[in-house]
Amino acid sequence: MGPQFVSGVIVKIISTEPLPGRKQIKDALAVLAEVAYVDMLEGDTECHVRFKTPEDAQTVMKSHKEIQIKNTWKFEVLTGDHEQRYWQKILVDRQAKLNQPREKKRGTEKV
């Protein structure tokens, strides 16, 4: 089924230097709110974080000053056209992943 469109749950993080790994970002933000997914490439300077609810995204936005002191991250909630395009990207990426040919292994080969 995949993620359902909910407005105001995507927060874009922009950094002046490469961001840490996906897990470090998730752990840093999970203290404040429930993180659904972190979308980033290794060594990138920006990423998108999807939260469970718009309230979670707002909580992070309100307390971003504390996070900003520790890291040089800027936060913005995606809205309007940017948000629509990002949700399209989620669906396209998901389809691409699901359509990828999978290598089938037999029982003894898996081990």
Q: What is the pLDDT of residues 13-59, one digit of tens each?
A: 888 888 888 888 888 888 888 888 888 888 888 888 988 888 888 88
Indicate whether 8 pLDDT > 80.
Answer: yes
Q: Identify which has the larger pLDDT, 92 or 64.
A: 92
4 band by pLDDT with thresholds 50, 70 and 90: confident
Which domains occur in the chain, in start order?
10-99 (3.30.70.330)
Q: Which two tokens stand for residue 37?
A: 């997914």
Are the C-beta atoms of 12 and 46 separated by less than 8 Å? Answer: yes
Which residue type does 26 have? K
Closest CA relative to residue 56, chosen from 32, 83, 75: 32
